[in-house]
Chain A
Amino acid sequence: MIIQDLMTIGSQQQIAKNIFEMKLTGKLVGEISSPGQFVHIRVSDSFEPLLRRPISIANINKEKNEMTIIYRTEGHGTQLLSQKREGDIVNVLGPLGNGFPVEETSAGQTAVLIGGGIGVPPLYELSKQLTAKGVNCIHILGFQSDDVVFYEEEFAALGDTHIATVDGSNGTAGFVTNIMSELTDEFETFYSCGPMPMLSAVQKAYVHKKGFLSFEQRMGCGIGACFACVCHTNENATDKAYVKVCSDGPVFPAGVVQI
């Protein structure tokens, strides 16, 4: 169920250049049903900025009612969020959307998780849940440069982890696709989250595989009412002519959304 919760900040720290990790505690955590869901955060009590900020959930600890979000400071809203401190209260709406289907990969099978930039965070909770059920996870993470790489060790603790940076300052020089072409294609499923050109390349490269993509779109309400974040669908992929990223997604089976 979607609730509006006043969550308490347990910690906030910068983990890479312009990348922040925030831990939040509240009953909303109990409502989270799958990795890849997101929350909609009010960064200010005033109307400046007016709208909430959609941010994906990177880690869940249901026993402690705690979740971790990882975000990049890009504009005024995320700047304000990054200035909040331990003990501050944040108005959070969520959990929103439909996450990655963990059940689509069975114990003993292999899943490839491909993330780009600020699309990497939701893959962490996904990998935790997949590995917990006995899935072998391979991580392919792409970043602009070494100074914005985060969670490299955390992912490595869960499975094989390959890093690509556009400038070659960490791992393979280039894009995630450069790593994908070098790796085995002996895997059952792929899960991906990142910028649209990356999702498009991943879908194309793995066209014969079962996969799930998480999309990003400019959002208004976050609950499916405002029709800001619609995407066209591919003919025959679904009975709908369009989907709303916030409430129908953000995760869709590969091939459903026109990219």
Chain B
Amino acid sequence: MNRLAITLPGLQLKNPIMPASGCFGFGKEYGNLYDLSQLGAIMIKATTLETRYGNPTPRVAETSSGMLNAIGLQNPGLQGVLQNELPWLEKFDVPIIANVAGSETEDYVEVAKEISKAPNVHALELNISCPNVKCGGITFGTDPAVAKELTAAVKAVSSVPVYVKLSPNVADIKSMAIAVEAGGADGITMINTLIGMRLDEKTGKPVIANKTGGLSGPAVKPVAIRMVYEVSQVVNIPIIGMGGVTCVQDVIDFMSAGASAVAVGTANFVDPFVCPTIIEQLPGKLDELKIDHISELIGRSHRV
């Protein structure tokens, strides 16, 4: 028995650990450091219909136990990803979750339709929560009715299951989750970054050129845990949890809160080997907790 194996819509995960979108590029840089087949899955960087350069620099700023970023969805566009990025990943035995972003419904639909046909794309992650682009992204992620409609439109054309990535920058995350489930989402990924700002000590002006950026890293973990805890009790679709995961205990916490799998984001920048390290340490942690299979952890925080 593989004590770490988890089955989710479209995904046979050999373990529940995957790098989060935007923190792993399209895998090449990390593929030079270790065998990507060790990973449960890979959430690749957001793909938009057209090539995007992204925001001006500075794009990142460090904060207490975290960082702000405003990259702005830089990516080579749908054709670039289909022709150059995804084929390169085929040599690894790992399912790809393609993050899909856009400015309008038509963009999302077009990208979802095409990218979901790629042989190694086993699921889509609908990015309705990027805080760093002017139109699209987060506007779809803050209104439940709009999110539901977009989910349904993408679901209608996708050849693979669709997960929707939720933003924490909302008054009521539960209503967003319920809405995307009603729209036909097969799963939820959460959370995206929290909108923040850092000011330069000398000038008093925002450090990041975009002024605001998305906060990630250990600082956001309590917010993410709370939201996974809440959402997992109001929907019947699985959650891939993320937000400040850096170690094996964080994975246990997210699964206990209600996540069925866990993504690692910013920690990849601090320790590029963090994902394989966590995977290696998980069996020992299960022994310590006297748990046979990792799935036993899911939702134990609120199970009666």
Contact = CB atoms under 8 A, between A and B. Distances in A.
A223 B28 CA distance: 10
Contacts of A229: 57
Contact of A48 (B23, B24, B65): B65
A50 B69 contact: no
A47 B66 CA distance: 8
B27 to A, nearest CB: 9
B246 to A, nearest CB: 7
Given A51-B62, A51-B67, A224-B25, A230 B272 contact: no
A228 B60 contact: yes
> Which range holds the interface residue count of chain A?
20 to 34
A50 B33 contact: no
A217 B57 contact: yes
B60 A42 contact: no
B218 A218 contact: no
Grouping DSSP codes into helix (H, G, I), strand (E, B) and loop, the A interface class, with mixed when no group exceeds half, is loop
A127 B211 CA distance: 41
Contacts of B71: 226-228
Instruction: Assign chain B's interface to a size class.
Output: 35 or more
Interface in A202-229: 217-229
A49 interface: yes
A242 B74 CA distance: 11
B222 to A, nearest CB: 14
A128 interface: no
Contact of B25 (A42, A52, A225): A225
A104 to B, nearest CB: 26
Main secondary structure of the interface of B (DSSP, over half): loop
Contacts of B69: 220, 226, 228
Nearest to A242: B53
B29 A218 contact: no
Contacts of A51: 62, 67, 269-270
B268 to A, nearest CB: 7
A42 B271 CA distance: 9
B217 A47 contact: yes
B57 A225 contact: no
Contacts of A227: 25, 54, 59, 71, 74
A217 B57 CA distance: 9
A2 B33 contact: yes
B188 to A, nearest CB: 25
**Residue among A50, A242, A247 with max Cβ neighbours from chain B (10 Å):** A50
B57 A93 contact: no
B127 to A, nearest CB: 15
B246 A225 contact: no
A230 B24 CA distance: 16
Interface of A: 1-2, 4, 42, 47-52, 93, 217-232, 241-242, 247
7 contacts: A47-B217, A50-B266, A220-B69, A221-B268, A223-B29, A224-B25, A241-B51
Given A93-B272, A226-B269, A228-B60, 6 more contacts: A47-B218, A50-B217, A51-B67, A225-B29, A227-B54, A241-B51
